[in-house]
Chains A and B, each alone.
Chain A
Amino acid sequence: MQQIDLTYSDKYCVFRSGDDRFCIPAPSIRNVGPRPVLCRLPMTDDVLAGVAHEQREFFPVYSFRVIRGVGLQSQKEQQMLVLSADSGPWGLLIDEVHGLESLELSLNSHRGQSGTWSAICVGSTAFKDQVVTAIDSQNVLEFVQERLSQSWNQARQHAVELSHTSQIESGDAVHTG
């Protein structure tokens, strides 16, 4: 995984999600674009908005609102940040990009447990009289992977239970028959 030194880069991409502002280091962003056409995967968590296809690549797209725990709203997130990772690019749906700004962050002294929201938020700063929360893209990805694995495990367990139940029911049916 490519480690990005947040203190090294002073450029941050400031964006809005809901009523809050967030920023992410500019080097971790590959490009910014409008919300693409997404292919929704069945039986997955809401955090995975779908799979996008851009520039001859398929990559997963996650919903930042769901990550934040705000939940789905009537108005969809209109823009998407494409970020680079070792496993390949991935997308993060946001409401609006404000731009690249030079910010001076105050980093959090205590970092939360991996896979939690506190692990995602790494610092904060002020921009145009508003508080901007700095997030770590790697932590976001870990958070998402953790949540998806949990979801898939639950789904797998549920499927096993369902198959076991169906086998029992079919056996009962054989014995009965």
Chain B
Amino acid sequence: MRIQTILIGTLATCIFLAAGGGLLIGLSPSSSLAIGLGVTLSGLSIGLALWLHYKLRRGLRSLHQQITANEHQPRGQSGFLELDTILSTVQASLDESANKAKLLREESDELKALVLRLDRRETVGRSSATPVRQLAGILSSFGTQIETDISQIQACGREINRCADHIAAGGQEQTSAVNKSARMIESISNFVDTVLEDASAANTSAQSTFQSARDGLKEFEQLLGELSEIQSLVSNREKRLRALGEHTREIGFIVQTIGQISSRTDLLALNASIESVRAGEHGRGFAVVAQEVRSLAEQSAEASRDVAMRIENIQNETQQSIAVIDDEHAQVQQVLKRLAKAADLLRSIDLLASDAAKRTSRLSQCTEQQLRLTQEFVDVMQRISETNRGSRSHVEGVRWTTKSLDKLTQQISGTVRHIIPQSQQRLTEPVRNPPAECNLEDAFGDEIWQGNGTANAVDRISHQLDSATAILQANN
């Protein structure tokens, strides 16, 4: 809460209370109640002023304590907004000052180290024991670090080698599995070839069956037509035979009439003979004529009987022929019915053969596609096998590389082991009569400290490490 607001509020309240108390006492000076109320209000205004005083004092004390204690984190609120803002600003300034002091300390430390180093360089000409020891320590720690790294590199190389072995073994198994699969697929391909040949043969047979069924159906339909013609011919012949039978029957009637006439003639001649007999001697000539007439009548009767017999024979034969033709007609009808059934069966065979031809054609196409896919699968397997062979060669390369890396790390390790004992020897060697001039060749031996020997050795190690890193990266 802002101080201004509190002050104005408190002042206004005190004025109001004091005014109220004075007004009550002034209006009724004799009334004890009014006097009591005026005193109470005056006391309240005084108490309020005292509370405000206490609050302000406590906030200021807290601010003072926090500033003097130089605390980075505020412990609490003062209760006044202005005081809290000041406190925050002061704390920010303190933090900034602390950081700057830290930086200054670091800079001072660096400056001190620099000054110390400069001092040491200045004293190198007088005493080389301390820098040599320092350099030996650096090299020792550097060599230790390098040896640790080399150990890790060797461990990584062994792990890579083990993985490469696993990969090679897996690749070999995969190659054998792929080869086996390829052989099986080739066997399947051979079977599919056989199935394709059989399907082609079945397709050809189905086509031939279909064509034969169609030809047979055509022949059958022609046969049906011819049999229908034969049936019509048989019907015509039956009609003609029936007509012939009818004619012969009419002829029989005529012959019967002739026979009756001849019989009547015979009787007439007989009567004439009787009359001639009754006439006695006068009728003898008439009797001869009557006898001749009777003879002729008998001949004609005999002839008519003969004709009637022949006609009867003809009629019998005609009836037999008609019966035979009826049988033939019935047989032809039965044959036609059977042929119609056979034609239906042939049509069914035709449909079935057509369906079989379509199915075998589809089967042949599917088998060809299956063969093509099998061949593509064999190609894919062969490519996988080739890839596996390539992977094996790569694994061999990895093995060779890890061997090279191992050899390189052994070389580095040898170099480092060559450096570390000498530096440790230098570290453990007591300083005796430091030379007037610092001779680095004497200090680090011929290999390291001849001219830029140390730098060359470090460069060589660095180069070998770079090579190892490059190999590892290449392997990765």
* A interface residues, Cβ below 8 angstroms from B: 9, 11, 13, 26-27, 29-34, 79, 97, 99-100
Query: Contacts A99-B294, A100-B273 known; A26 to B278 CB distance under 8 Å?
Result: yes
* Interface contacts beyond A11-B273, A31-B271: sample of 11 additional A-B pairs, CB < 8 Å, sorted by A: A9-B277, A11-B277, A30-B274, A31-B274, A32-B267, A32-B271, A33-B271, A97-B270, A99-B273, A100-B273, A100-B277
A45 to chain B, nearest CB (A): 28
* Bound-state Cα–Cα, A145 to B264, Å: 31
B168 to chain A, nearest CB (A): 129
Within 8 Å by CB of A29, from B264, B274, B294, lies B274
Interchain Cβ contacts under 8 Å between A and B, 27 examples: A9-B277, A13-B270, A26-B273, A26-B274, A26-B277, A26-B278, A27-B277, A27-B278, A29-B274, A30-B274, A31-B271, A31-B274, A31-B275, A32-B267, A32-B270, A32-B274, A33-B267, A33-B271, A34-B264, A79-B267, A97-B267, A97-B270, A99-B294, A100-B270, A100-B273, A100-B274, A100-B277
Residues of A within 8 A of B264 (CB): 34
* Bound-state Cα–Cα, A100 to B264, Å: 16
Residues of B within 8 A of A33 (CB): 267, 271
* B interface residues, Cβ below 8 angstroms from A: 264, 267, 270-271, 273-275, 277-278, 294
* Bound-state Cα–Cα, A135 to B275, Å: 20
Residues of B within 8 A of A9 (CB): 277
Most interface-central of B267, B270, B271, B294 (chain A CB within 10 A):
B270
B280 to chain A, nearest CB (A): 8
* Bound-state Cα–Cα, A100 to B275, Å: 11
B159 to chain A, nearest CB (A): 139
A119 to chain B, nearest CB (A): 25
A89 to chain B, nearest CB (A): 13
Are the CB atoms of A13 and B274 closer together than 8 Å? yes
* Bound-state Cα–Cα, A26 to B279, Å: 11
Closest to A10 in B: B277
* Bound-state Cα–Cα, A30 to B271, Å: 8
* Bound-state Cα–Cα, A9 to B264, Å: 26
B269 to chain A, nearest CB (A): 9
* Bound-state Cα–Cα, A100 to B267, Å: 11
Closest to A100 in B: B273
A26 to chain B, nearest CB (A): 4
* Bound-state Cα–Cα, A109 to B321, Å: 63
* Bound-state Cα–Cα, A9 to B283, Å: 14
Most interface-central of B267, B274, B275, B294 (chain A CB within 10 A):
B274
* Bound-state Cα–Cα, A30 to B294, Å: 17
Closest to B298 in A: A99
